[in-house]
Amino acid sequence: LEEAKRREEERQRQEAEEAERRRQEELRRRQADEAAAAKAAAAEEAKRRRRAEEAAGEDSDGDDGSGGRHRRKSSSRRRARARAEAEAQRKREAEAAAAAAAAEEAERRWRPVVLAASMADESDDASAAEADNAACAIRAPDGAVQPDDFKCTLVPLDQADVGSIPPGDELVSGVVRLEPAGLSRVQISGGGEGRRHWYFMLPHCAQRQAARETVVYIYEDGRWQERPSAETHIDMQGLPARWVETKITDTSVTAVAVNKLKTDRFSVGKPGIRYSSSVDNRICLTVPEDALKIQLDQTIEVQPVDSSTLAVIKSQLPRETHGLLTCSSIIQHTSICKNTLRPVTFNFQLPLNPAGAKKTRPGTAGAAGGAASSVVASGRPMTAKPKATPNSDEEDELVVLLGCDGQRRCVGVGGSGGGSWSVLDQLDIEEEPGKDIVGFRTTRFYDRRFIAFRVKPEFNTDTASRICEAIETNLEDKSACFVLRQKSDNLTEVSLALIASGRLDRTLKQLQEAGYDYDGISGGLGGGGGGSNGPGVSEDIRVRERQQFRLRFRGNIICEDDDPDRPSEFVLHFNSQMKNRLELSVTERDRFAQRALDQFRGYIEVTTDMAVQKPVKDAKKGNPHQTVTVMEEAVVAKMLICVPKSEEELRVKSPRATPFVFKSKDSVTMEYLRDLAELVCDNWELLADKLEVSKKRCSVIKKTSESQETQAYDMLITWVKKLPVLKNKVLILCRALNASGYPHLAASLRDAERERRLRVENGDDYD
């Protein structure tokens, strides 16, 4: 067996080495191809420069003569010097590229050191409870880092200040804090003179999407900042399959992996460019030659807007979206604001009218009011606000282009950052008939995001900005629900999950495989015990990424280690691509409560902060409806929990388990109450109301007693037990009988009390 085990380990080691060798060969081949392409491009550029210099020298040559010969010799010397300098520059660039390729190849051979993580402290935040044991890894020169040189800690989200992360970005790993362990020797800069960086790696659970990428965010200067990152993997068994890494220089770092919109980065200079987005190649920026004199860095992000999102917006804003047919993706173009010497063109995709192939023409909607636009020849560009032609019955479709300065909006009280949406009526819109590609020309670069609408002539452009804000909000918000399950073999073990609604079936299956297959009682409480999604599942709610929810125990159920008078409060954050699950052991708060039931009942109350419109108290008389947006705590779900009672606890279930006996000093005795119960059993609930016995107690009595006589008697005993000793029971009961429609019983009780008093005055033995 030991020999077989040794051979198996040797085989696995050889397979791992072979896989690593193949990966290294592939990397070398790719780098060689890139170097060859760069060299060919440099040679072509040098050849172009040389031809330009020769042409300039020929043009500067003069006529024959001593002056002309002198000028020709001078120009020849200048061209020779220029060629020598260009050749030297090419050699330096080639040497630098070769050195960089060699350094990168050496860095690729650095083997990662995987580090396990511990929790930062005892926190009520359950977001990091499902974190992997392998929390991060370090890729540095061999021998420079040991596993015990660093301390890796998982930071709860309520302590990580995740508010500065853009609202549309999704966390796909735990927040990890890495720092040197005590006074241990860390030699990150080893492995070569001048090497001052290393690679920090995080495992992630991001789903593959064409429009999104996974990057590493580093917490620096009080906010989270994106770092250049690359997808990678670690060929070790038992580790997560997908990792993302970034190059950093510090040994103390706080980082998290984030799934965000894919960013295309490129530069534009004097030669011009035609750049297509990696998300959608129909989105294209064309900059002609000599449009710029300097080099400008550009970025493009594409946020797709599908037909289902547009359908939701139309259902939410039916009046504002009247006449809206289709819309394009939201395109974020980031650049330094700079004028161009020649117009640049931006093309993108705008879906055609799905209702039919009507003849479309370029342009945008007219002014508010829905007047039709003037007729122009097909293919001719129009401004974004064409002249209106009254009394026109033409059914053409228009294109409305809207823009908003700044980055994507940030969630917060009081609105969104980065400016507001407005119609770009100063730009010329171009569209080829019958195709879904539109474009516009501009002579200035902006830091702006824009979107286009295909509309009918009756569309009101004054509502377009509100539609854009609704689209952004809908893309940021997600539909989620809470799921509560208990272990069937031990109902005190509870699991509460906060999940995206689309993952409900998968989550229920995972909980069932883990033993959490008891869903409690159908019907539930509020909207959380048994909504439209089934028992133990709350109603769907709209949530944002990293939104915080507070969980509190209510009723007769608390956490097992809690103080009954001060139950704990737990925190759960919503992350659409991570497990948001809380597993607890619960127990009853008071074992002597809920005696009428065969189980203890309670619920988890879920609250969160929501934006609410409040009237301004000191508003001026001219604007009495002025409001302000404030954040208030609101209950979004109540999840029912039931724990069965033990046999000992079930023995004290009935209210009459311990017989109640009292000695009466008036005519209201136990025998009289028993006889009275037989007389009022048909209408005892009305009498209970007059005696101020609570409806809740009456409902318990009806559940625990079978006959109406017994129910009436239990009600009368309950009334006697809660009545103070000095109260006049005869007077109170007589008034209640009169009010309940039993005046004859009240009269007989008064006569019986009068006779009892006479006997007591005469000295007769009342008993």
Whether the predicted pLDDT of 226 surpasses 70: yes
Contacts 24+ apart (CB under 8 A), 313-320: 313/467, 313/470, 313/471, 313/474, 316/470, 317/463, 317/466, 317/467, 317/470, 319/463, 320/460, 320/463, 320/466, 320/467
- Provide the pLDDT for residue 146: 79
Q: Which residue has the higher pLDDT, 659 or 460?
A: 460
CATH class (in words) of the domain with range 670-762 = mainly alpha
Q: Which residue has the higher pLDDT, 552 or 654?
A: 552
- Provide the pLDDT for residue 241: 84
- Are 264-354+396-410+418-459 and 670-762 equal in CATH topology? no
CATH 2.60.40.2660 fits 482-522+532-616+627-651, yes or no: yes
Q: Which residue has the higher pLDDT, 521 or 96?
A: 96
What dotted CATH number matches 264-354+396-410+418-459?
A: 2.60.220.30
User: Mean pLDDT over residues 360-369, rounded?
Assistant: 43
Residue 52's nearest CA partner among 101, 25, 86, 22 is: 86
- Provide the pLDDT for residue 528: 43
Band the pLDDT of 276: cuts 50, 70, 90: very high
Q: Of the spans 132-136, 534-538, 660-664, 706-710, which averages the highest pLDDT?
A: 706-710
The ranges assigned to domains in the chain are 112-120+132-183+197-261, 264-354+396-410+418-459, 482-522+532-616+627-651, 670-762
The 10s digit of each residue's pLDDT in 725-737 is 778 888 989 999 9
- Provide the pLDDT for residue 651: 62
Distance CA 599, CA 555 (A): 12
183-187, 363-367, 669-673, 762-766, range with the lowest pLDDT: 363-367
For residue 344, the cross-strand partners are: 442
- DSSP per-residue string spanning 33-86: HHHHHHHHHHHHHHHHHHHHHHHHHHHH---SSHHHHHHHHHHHHHHHHHHHHH
Whether the predicted pLDDT of 525 surpasses 50: no
The 10s digit of each residue's pLDDT in 604-620 is 999 999 887 777 766 55
Percent of the chain with pLDDT over 70: 80
User: Mean pLDDT over residues 739-764, rounded?
Assistant: 86
- Provide the pLDDT for residue 216: 94
User: Mean pLDDT over residues 215-227, rounded?
Assistant: 91
- Provide the pLDDT for residue 365: 42
Whether the predicted pLDDT of 191 surpasses 80: no
User: Mean pLDDT over residues 585-600, rounded?
Assistant: 83
- Provide the pLDDT for residue 37: 78
Percent of the chain with pLDDT over 90: 27
Q: Which residue has the higher pLDDT, 662 or 174?
A: 174
- Provide the pLDDT for residue 134: 73
Band the pLDDT of 147: cuts 50, 70, 90: confident
User: Mean pLDDT over residues 200-227, rounded?
Assistant: 91
Band the pLDDT of 622: cuts 50, 70, 90: low
Band the pLDDT of 419: cuts 50, 70, 90: confident
- Provide the pLDDT for residue 120: 64
Q: Which residue has the higher pLDDT, 79 or 347?
A: 347
Whether the predicted pLDDT of 15 surpasses 50: yes
Give kind and range of the element (H or E) at residue 97. Answer: helix 66-108
Distance CA 118, CA 130 (A): 12
Whether the predicted pLDDT of 284 surpasses 90: yes
For residue 500, the cross-strand partners are: 480
To 5 degrees, how large is the angle CA 313–CA 316–CA 319?
Answer: 95
Whether the predicted pLDDT of 192 surpasses 50: no
182-196, 266-280, 561-575, range with the lowest pLDDT: 182-196
The 10s digit of each residue's pLDDT in 653-672 is 444 445 667 777 888 888 88
At 615, the amino acid letter reads P
C-alpha dihedral (10, 14, 16, 17), degrees to nearest 10: 130
Mean pLDDT of the chain: 79
The 10s digit of each residue's pLDDT in 338-350 is 888 899 999 999 9
Whether the predicted pLDDT of 45 surpasses 80: no
| CB within 8 Å of 392: residues ≥ 6 apart | 371, 372
Distance CA 389, CA 374 (A): 6
- Provide the pLDDT for residue 526: 37
Contact 290, 342 (CB under 8 A): yes
User: Mean pLDDT over residues 702-720, rounded?
Assistant: 85
What's the pTM? 0.67
- Provide the pLDDT for residue 303: 93
Whether the predicted pLDDT of 489 surpasses 90: no
Band the pLDDT of 55: cuts 50, 70, 90: low
